[in-house]
Amino acid sequence: MSDFSTVSSQSWFSRLGGAIKGVIFGIILVFVMIMMLWWNEGRAVKTYKMLKEGAGAVVSVSADTVSPGNDSKLVHLSGLATTEDTLSDSIFGISATALKLMRTVEMYQVEETITKEEKKKLGGGTETVETPSYSQVWSSSVIDSSNFRDPSKQVNPGSMPYSSETLTATKATIGAFTLNSGLLGQITNAQPMNATQETLSKIQQDLQSKLTLHANGYYMGANPSSPQIGDVRVTFKVVLPQDVSLISQQVGNTFQAWQASNGKSFQRLESGTVSAEVMFEDAQAENRMLTWILRLVGLVLIAVGIGMIFRPLSVAADVLPFLGSLLEVGVGIIAFLGSLCITMLVISMAWIFYRPLIGIPLLLISVGSIVALFVMKNKKAVAA
């Protein structure tokens, strides 16, 4: 045990009271996740329909000329996204004719990690040992060390000497068109930009004297190979002119997000020369991925909520620790199975609401499968 470890105890009555209070939060959590699952299915269906509508309406055009006949239409085009703007980092002397210029500032700091070990005691109480451990890390934000358990580790500076920053071109074009901010924001294909002796010489003398070139960037500290707390490193990335493909609504010589008949809006940009068909397929794949991620989030959090609802039972049984642990496993199984049933039911009902032609047959198949299982089970029982 560390010299700075802390030991705390909680009585059985206190734990039971906390578990009972947690029942309310558990009920709220289950309800909120049910609503989220319902919303997610609706979002997925609306997005699917919007993308299908867009795929049927999109017109591929040339980026070289602006055709008034395509005004207000959903268009697809490919070309070189470029700019004449020179982006300059006024502090560190870096400049480039680019779509974006990104500065990342990191400071070497101490990070505290608390490890908790809880032990159940006879009678239902618990004893918790909290043990701090420390490591040195590079972080782009300040780590507050003023409340660290070990006073000797309270050494982090209270602020960053400089902040990370992203500069964006005020005007970017693709052929005869001007990109709007929404499309420009989707260009993320960045590459490192090296600091050099020339860029170093452009920095104000008082700061220049504190910097050295290191790892393609600047280093502020005594020795880059042996960093000390408070040392700073600054690196840069740049988004240069590049070939892109986009789908958006043409408005004069620029673009705006296209709105489908169901109210969903859409505009998309991808790096390289990509056909409209592939771009819509990519968008549909992302929609499916997000749908499944949110389904899993809902499943897990509903299980957590159910576990909180039944937690008073396992806490009550902790008067005999082995019995409480056994019941806790049972509650976990019930929570998972209950969450699975609730999640499947909500998704099925949502599909009936949003896509009845698919949802109703699926529900009938599900019910039929359950009935068939019971019939087969009863036949086996009779045969035995």
User: How far is the C-alpha of 312 from the C-alpha of 326, rounded, in Å?
Assistant: 14
At residue 126, the pLDDT reads 85
SS3 86: strand
- Reading the chain (384 residues) residue by residue, the pLDDT tens digits are 667 888 888 887 888 888 899 999 999 999 999 999 999 999 999 999 999 999 999 999 999 999 999 999 999 999 999 999 999 999 999 999 999 999 999 999 999 999 999 888 888 788 889 999 999 999 999 999 999 999 999 999 999 999 999 999 999 999 999 999 999 999 999 999 999 999 999 999 999 999 999 999 999 999 999 999 999 999 999 999 999 999 999 999 999 999 999 999 999 999 999 999 999 999 999 999 999 999 999 999 999 999 999 988 888 887 787 787 888 888 888 888 888 888 888 888 888 888 777 667 766 665 665 566 566 656 655 555
| Cα dihedral 23, 28, 33, 38 sign | positive
Q: Which residues of 298-325 are buried (b: 16+ CB within 10 A; e: fewer)?
A: bbebbbbbbbbbbbbbbbbbbeebeebe
Find all residues with CB under 8 Å of 97, minimum gap 6, and list them: 83, 84, 85, 86, 87, 241
Q: Which two tokens stand for residue 159?
A: 């602020």
Find all residues with CB under 8 Å of 181, minimum gap 6, and list them: none
At residue 363, the pLDDT reads 65
Map tokens 């999640």 to a residue.
343
SS3 192: strand
At residue 376, the pLDDT reads 62
C-alpha separations of 36 from 142, 143, 221, 285, 308 in Å: 34, 34, 49, 21, 19
What is the pTM assigned to this prediction?
0.84
User: How far is the C-alpha of 251 from the C-alpha of 269, rounded, in Å?
Assistant: 16
By DSSP bridging, strand 217-220 and strand 232-239 are antiparallel
User: How far is the C-alpha of 110 from the C-alpha of 157, rounded, in Å?
Assistant: 10
- CA nearest 302: which of 258, 346, 251, 269? 346
Our CA angle for 130, 132, 136, nearest 5°, is: 160
**Length of the chain counted residue by residue:** 384
C-alpha separations of 228 from 157, 164, 250 in Å: 12, 20, 54
- CA nearest 31: which of 296, 288, 309? 309
- CA nearest 184: which of 105, 241, 236? 241
User: How far is the C-alpha of 166 from the C-alpha of 156, rounded, in Å?
Assistant: 25
At residue 382, the pLDDT reads 56
In angstroms, how far apart are the furthest CA atoms of the chain? 94
**CA atoms lying within 13 Å on the CB side of residue 308:** 17
Side chain identity, residue 58: V
At residue 368, the pLDDT reads 62
User: How far is the C-alpha of 173 from the C-alpha of 79, rounded, in Å?
Assistant: 9
Write out the H or E segment, with its range, that includes residue 102.
strand 100-120
Phi, psi of 373 (to 5 degrees): -65, -45
- CA nearest 249: which of 81, 82, 76? 76
Residue 227: exposure state from Cβ atoms within 10 A (0-12, 13-18, ≥19): middle
